[in-house]
Amino acid sequence: MNEVYSKLLKCFDQIRKKTDFVPSVALVLGSGLGSFGELIDVKCTVDYSELDNFPVSTVTGHNGRFLFGYIKNTPVVCMQGRVHYYEGYKMTDVVLPIRLMGMLGAKKIILTNAAGGINKTFKPGTLMAITDHISSFVPSALIGQNVDELGVRFPDMTNVYSKKLTALLKRTAEKLDIPLREGVYIQFTGPAYETPAEINMARILGADAVGMSTAVEAMAARHMGIEVCAVSCISNMAAGLNKKPLTHEEVKETADMVAEQFQKLIYNVIADIETEEKTDSQTEITGDRVEIYTDGACKGNPGPGGYGIVIVSGDKETKISKGFFNTTNNRMELLAAITALETVGAFKNITLYSDSKYLIDGMTKGWAKNWKSNNWIKADRKKALNTDLWDRMLYLEQKHTIEYVWVKGHNGHEYNEICDRLAVEAAENPTAEDVVEG
């Protein structure tokens, strides 16, 4: 039998002798989330040292055990401590715990880490949702005989980080008022921190944050079909962006500083993950195109703010969603557009109708893209506050083909009839998903 798989089976059997707990979500705790275990209603723990040939961390500050238990109603397995490639383990050993958690039942995984900030707009303490990764000179954990029991020889890596889970992460952060950026993570082997020239290279390659752990873990999880979500805590600015030399102490200190927020975010994501599964905020859409209407584009909208979504297929129109926001301003207009775009999942052909010149001009005139150098946003403090939302719009724009249409608010636009209907129904019949706090 495949050597990697037989090692996995042995660990699997040893755990199953101790517990029959079946987790649905796996969680890997990076620096700063060390005390997250206290939030779990723990049913069983398994020390890594109890498992034959299991890789054990050699870094101080990393405990080594699995916690099995519940976060609200979600059954989780949580890794307190992980091993890194730089500790000298084979890459197949580095990802063994990830694969093991998948074999124990986890269908989703949340990876967390501390990382250096490459994106100059980040600060130590920034939280970043990982949207994609680059592995730089890091050997793939999938090299060697394929473990056919886990996945295919040539797995697709187009969507390593689940859009659905990342959307949940972002909605949760928004709800909790926790700032969350997003970006590309680059993995180097470590253990030395990078040189300024390497960080410069990484930025040119498109990376926003740098670390030594997560890309390989995400890849192993995707190989076996686990849905992945990952968050970096920017613990320091990467080499060359700061005069101070980098130290592990600084990494730990910053991670500890934001630990409370980070924990709250992850806790709430996991608590909601099963419900989200049932309500399914993203819908598989088949049709010719999708029309999205925000706020005033819905003539006579009875509530302040909101959006409507219509799938057009031939001459058939199907409403799939509607929403309300409890205040109306440009920020809400952006949030309505974002929520609607996230709802339509991967569907590409979209027309977005809005009465907000701010939204339409921001997206069509390149102002949002260049907000860092554009006085239009910089000059206005309130607009500057929306940069996180512009970043999200720009991110979503990469996923869809969006045509933007400005319509005069409440002026009898030909599509407004549909929107009116949606808005009236939403007002009469609001559901929990319709109400988004603004």
Q: Which stretch binds ligand HPA (CB under 6 A): 54-62, 171-179, 206-214, 366-374?
A: 206-214
List the structure tokens of 269: 């994501």
In the complex with ligand HPA, the residue whose CB is nearer, 30 or 303, is 30
Task: State which residue, 212 or 310, has the beta carbon closest to ligand HPA.
Answer: 212
x/- mask, ligand HPA, residues 224-263, rule CB under 6 A, reads -----------xx-x-------x----x------------
DSSP code string of 124-161: TT-EEEEEEEEE-SPPPTT-SS--TTT--SS---TT-B
Tokens at 333, concatenated: 């207009």
Radius of gyration of the chain (CA): 23
* Choice between 104 and 210, CB closer to ligand HPA: 210
Residue listed under structure tokens 């706020």: 295
d(CA 25, CA 213): 19
Q: Would you say 270 and 73 are in contact if contact means Cβ atoms under 8 Å apart?
A: no
Query: Looking at beta carbons only, is 212 or 269 nearer to ligand HPA?
Result: 212
Residue nearest to ligand HPA (CB): 116
- Contact between 184 and ligand HPA by CB under 6 A: the answer reads no
Is residue 214 close enough to count as binding ligand HPA by CB under 6 A? no
Least Cβ distance, residue 297 to ligand HPA (angstroms): 44
Give, as ranges, the residues between 342 and 361 that touch ligand HPA (CB under 6 A): none
Strands (E), 355-408: 401-406
Sequence-distant (6+) residues with CB within 8 A of 431 are none
211 belongs to the binding site for ligand HPA (CB under 6 A): yes
Query: For residues 120 and 348, which CB has a smaller minimum distance to ligand HPA in the complex?
Result: 120
194 binding ligand HPA? (CB under 6 A): yes
CB of 126 to ligand HPA, least distance (A): 12
Annotated active-site positions, please?
Answer: 31, 62, 84, 86-87, 114, 212-213, 236, 248
To ligand HPA, the closest distance from the beta carbon of 140 in angstroms equals 19
- 212 touches ligand HPA by CB under 6 A: yes
Please, what is the minimum distance in Å from the beta carbon of residue 270 to ligand HPA?
24
Q: Which is nearer to ligand HPA, 116 or 303 (CB)?
A: 116
Q: How far apart are alpha carbons 409 and 333 in whole angstroms?
A: 12
Please report whether residue 126 would count as binding ligand HPA according to CB under 6 A: no
- Which of the residues 101 through 120 are near ligand HPA (CB under 6 A)? 114-116
Helix or strand run (H / E) with residue 262: helix 259-279
How many CA atoms lie less than 13 Å away from 190 in the CB half-sphere?
Answer: 20
Shortest Å, Cβ 235 to ligand HPA: 5
Mapping DSSP to helix (H, G, I), strand (E, B) and coil, where does residue 111 land?
A: strand
Q: Which helix (H) or strand (E) holds 338?
A: helix 330-343
The DSSP result for 203-241, as a single string, is HHHT-SEEESSHHHHHHHHHHTT-EEEEEEEEEEEPTTS
Chain residues binding ligand HPA by CB under 6 A are 114-116, 193-194, 210-212, 235-236, 238, 246, 251
